[in-house]
Amino acid sequence: MINIHSWLLLMFVFFSCSIPEKEHENPNAQLKAEKYIPEIADKLNEISGLMIYNNHFWGFNDSGGKNELYGFNKAGQITYEIELDNAQNEDWESITQSEENIFIGDFGNNLGSRQNLHIYSINKKDILDKELQKVNTKEIKFTYTLQDRFSYLNQSTPFDCEAMVAFKDKLYLFSKNWRDETTWQYEMPTEQGEYKITPTDTFNVKCLITGADISPDNKTLALVGYENYRSFIWLFSDFPEDRFFEGKSQHIKLEGIDGAQTEGICFLSNDSILVSCEKTQSYNQQVFLFDLNKLSDGTH
């Protein structure tokens, strides 16, 4: 007998897939990677997540790394090492910010087996102008309403996530659906608490989403991901309220970084995007620049 959660999941996927796919703006758009920070200090060789705050770039190492947030400069030198008190880095994957807080998502879940998904919240006022420091954190816990089992084959679960943005007093998560390469949108409050979250929308991104950010003017959502060792950016604009996928969508191939493990994304300005990648055999840990004014079809 199928239980209610499995039934909801099947109905959600069915109706999502039944919606005719919108025609995308500039379907053949491409952007050439430009080196921006060619190498980040070795202490941050598995950089996952990227953010700009207080004239610095911020990131952290992912699964199994220290419970530390690093601030680094344009030369790739680490100038801040911030330990998160009462926090553990099981699989940190995303970072975002509101006017008052920084949020770090510990929700990487390749196996679909985790039952301790959470987001750490840091008050920006607690970050001092000193190289080494420790800050207090608040914990936002959540579970997926549709998940009723916690055993999947590796890289086959729809309950993985590596992308998060803060937008209009809420946190929005975008899943990394391993099997069908769609993404599900979730939302939850920014306040400390325990929440059960259900998808509010879905989009066929045709890749695995690894990062998200909102432009400074709050008018464009960017998602970064990869498929078959190639990286892509999706841009969503002219969306009503927080219904990002109902606006214009633009699929952009990132040229010049095939094989890079793209993990983090953030807007440098409304018309330029930074993408970080981990250290691999082919690439150093670094940050690339993509200038939206240089789209290959010139239509941005």
DSSP 7-47: HHHHHHHHHHHHSPPPPPEEEEEEEE-EEEES---GGGTTB
pLDDT band at 18 (very low <50, low <70, confident <90, very high): very low
Question: Quick check: 51 and 273 in contact, CB under 8 A?
Answer: no
Question: Helix (H, G, I), strand (E, B), or coil: what is residue 219?
Answer: coil
pLDDT at 32 over 50: yes
- The residue with greater pLDDT, 26 or 279, is 279
* Cα-based torsion angle of the residue sequence 69, 291, 205, 61 in order, rounded to the nearest 10 degrees: -20
Please, which residues have CB within 8 angstroms of residue 253's CB and are 6 or more apart in sequence? 29, 30, 31, 230, 231, 232
* Cα-based torsion angle of the residue sequence 189, 194, 200, 204 in order, rounded to the nearest 10 degrees: 100
Verdict on whether the full-model pTM lies above 0.85:
yes
Q: What is the pLDDT of residues 148-191, one digit of tens each?
A: 999 998 999 999 999 999 999 999 999 999 999 999 999 999 99
Please, which residues have CB within 8 angstroms of residue 195's CB and are 6 or more apart in sequence? 140, 141, 142, 143, 188, 189
Q: What is the pLDDT of residues 200-215, one digit of tens each?
A: 999 999 999 999 999 9
pLDDT at 7: 46
8 burial type by CB count under 10 A (0-12 exposed, 13-18 middle, 19+ buried) = middle
pLDDT at 64: 80
Q: Tell me the two tokens of residue 286.
A: 């670094």
Domains observed in the chain: 35-294 (2.115.10.20)
Q: What percent of the chain has pLDDT over 70?
A: 89
Whole-angstrom Cα distance, residue 256 to residue 234? 17
pLDDT band at 241 (very low <50, low <70, confident <90, very high): very high
pLDDT at 24 over 70: no
